[in-house]
Amino acid sequence: MRRRETIAYSASPLLASRTPVWRSRFILAALALAFLTLAGRAVYVQVLDNDFFQRQGEARFARTIKLPPSRGRVLDRNGLILASSVPAYGIWADGANPKDPNLGTLAKLLDMPRSAVLERVSRSAEGFVYLKRQVSESTREQIRALKITGISDTKEYKREYPEGEAAAHVVGFTNIESQGIEGVELAFNEQLTGYAGSRRVLKDRMGSIIEDLRDVVPPVNGKDVQLSIDSKVQFFAFDQLRQAVQTHDAVGGSVVVLDIHSGEILALANYPSYDPSDRRRLTGAMLRNQAITDTFEPGSTIKPFTVSLALERRNVRPTTVFDTAPGYIMVGRHKISDSSKHGTLSVSEIIQKSSNVGTVKIADGLTAKAMWQNLIDVGFGQKPDIIFPGAATGRLRGYDTWRASEKATLSYGYGLSTSLFQLARAYSVFARDGDMIPTTILKRSEVTSGTQVFSAQTASQMRAMLMLATGDEGTAPRAQTLGYSVAGKTGTARKIEGKGYSNKKYRGFFVGFAPVEEPRIVVAVMIDEPRKGGFYGGTVAAPVFSRTVQNTLRVLGVTPDQSVKPNITAAGVEESL
């Protein structure tokens, strides 16, 4: 066996040499300095500049989650829901991987093109990016089940509108951020919105919440708004309007229903309309609540105000007679005509037959200033007393600029403009005892006092005349209603086209009230540009008035004041334009 050799390491010259003392001290000092540097850095990070590093850490893993408030409900006068918020979720990405194999499934769940999802996910490398808003809870659960890194969700709310088209122009709608854009949603946005809460949390790289960094600030939900609108009356008025517009192939139309006891608006219907929950095919014209925002020349519906002023000033009595032959009158170089020759007419018959000539002769005994003040007193040319976006003022020029021909045409409704809502409110002066009360779109519990415009006697005399206008010999027998007495006035106005008036385009109106002896409601109807089946107000608008009155009074529980009469077949007398 070979003997193992033994090596004596201690005899190595290298180990036998003496190490300089300075080197050991240098190494020791370097180590001490390194430890002191680390300790100083730790003090700096943990104590002296802790806020900066805390912010940097939070910027990468901390998030402030907005806790949205639930928007208040919009209710009708009976507590039925017109608009409410339901839970929904916003799906978002933050640092997600664009190569994740589940992104295709995610795109299908979101009903989005895969390319759009990939594009947004790619952008999420730079920060927070929404993929889709207001998805359902079931979709959100399916997305969570995919467990895609960097994809998360936030609770929010989606607005729903149970009455759809019927109440769209009243309620309006919100944007995706739950801010009111149209209608009541806009007018009462502050009250409905509430205040958002917040939650500061720490998330891991998977996007899961692992810790709350501070106390949660809870959201303050919005308050409910209860309207004066009756959803039953609103739907029926809308349905009748829709049928009339379609039957007469009209451009559109509007209906206003007022409770004259309280000044509450029971219905504001327009057609065409839209679904507030689905606005993909929405146009600007469809958005307008035309009953409030659009103005027009009211035509013969103004005649009762001219006649009432003459009655109030005792210039005439209901039995005062005027000769309207030969069916026209010259005012300067302007010829004003009736649609039919009537000969001698009493004041009552001038309203019943809607005579332009008779109205102009009555107005001849009135001053321009008195006529102007009379129209101002009933609300024409004034800002409507209603909280609603876009409510139109209309136009009524100062009396000092009126020429003789303009004074004449103003007496029967040309030369001024008004909205259908203003017209309906003005007629409440006849339905009441000559006074007018403020109107409201909110439910009103207290009794409101009115402003006297005409005497009770004048209002009573005009009610009798307007009842004649809806009789078999008047211009609107089709306004008669089974079980209830009605009174009102037709109007037919040529539409302005270019620099003059069209001979083919008209608006037909009817505005009135019921029951006559103890009126409860005013209903105003406008049919815009009917192109089939006639265009006079008594033909196109009066039937809508009739059916709306009948339904509304039954909903309100008003007892019929007349026995049921046979169906009316008379076409009525065509009113003068």
Q: What is the pLDDT of residue 569?
A: 44
**DSSP3 helix / strand / coil % (the chain, rounded to 5):** 35, 25, 40
For residue 60, the tally of other CB atoms under 10 A from its CB is 10
Q: What is the DSSP string of 98-162?
A: TT-TTHHHHHHHTT--HHHHHHHHHHGGGS-EEEEEEE-HHHHHHHHHH--TTEEEEEEEEEE-T
Instruction: Name the fold adopted by 64-95+125-226.
Output: Penicillin-binding protein 2a (Domain 2) (3.90.1310)
Spacing of C-alpha 206 from chain mean position: 43
Q: What is the pLDDT of residue 306?
A: 97
Catalytic machinery residues: 300
Listed by start position, the domains of the chain span 64-95+125-226, 231-555
Please give, one letter per residue, the 3-state secondary structure of 381-429: CCCCCCCCCCCCCCECCCHHHCCHHHHHHHCCCCCCEECHHHHHHHHHH
Q: Are strands 173-174 and 180-182 parallel, antiparallel or unpaired?
A: antiparallel
CATH superfamily of 231-555: DD-peptidase/beta-lactamase superfamily (3.40.710.10)
pTM of the model: 0.84
Q: What is the pLDDT of residue 202?
A: 63
Q: What is the CA radius of gyration of the chain?
A: 38
Residues 397, 402, 408, 412, Cα dihedral to 10°: 0
Structure tokens at 105: 């499934």
Given a contact cutoff of 8 angstroms between Cβ atoms, the answer to whether 179 and 189 are in contact is yes
Return d(Cα 154, Cα 147) in angstroms, integer.
Answer: 15
Name the residue type at position 247.
T
Tell me whether domains 64-95+125-226 and 231-555 share a fold: no
Q: What is the pLDDT of residue 66?
A: 72
pLDDT in tens, 23-78: 777 787 888 888 888 877 777 667 666 666 566 555 556 666 677 888 999 999 99
Q: What is the pLDDT of residue 155?
A: 85
Q: What is the pLDDT of residue 503?
A: 85
Name the residue type at position 330.
M
Enter the DSSP assignment of 515. Answer: S
Q: Which of 164, 160, 190, 184 is nearest to 172 (CA)?
A: 184
Mean pLDDT for each 10-residue chunk of the chain (577 residues)? 57 62 76 81 68 59 73 96 93 87 91 91 85 91 90 89 95 92 95 83 57 71 96 97 97 96 96 88 80 94 97 96 94 90 94 95 96 96 91 94 94 94 97 94 87 96 96 93 95 85 91 96 97 94 97 96 58 61
Q: What is the pLDDT of residue 57?
A: 56
Q: What is the pLDDT of residue 98?
A: 86
Q: What is the pLDDT of residue 60?
A: 53
| Torsions phi, psi for 549 (to 5 deg) | -60, -50
Please name the residue that has the structure tokens 């037709």.
Answer: 490
Return d(Cα 495, Cα 250) in angstroms, integer.
Answer: 13
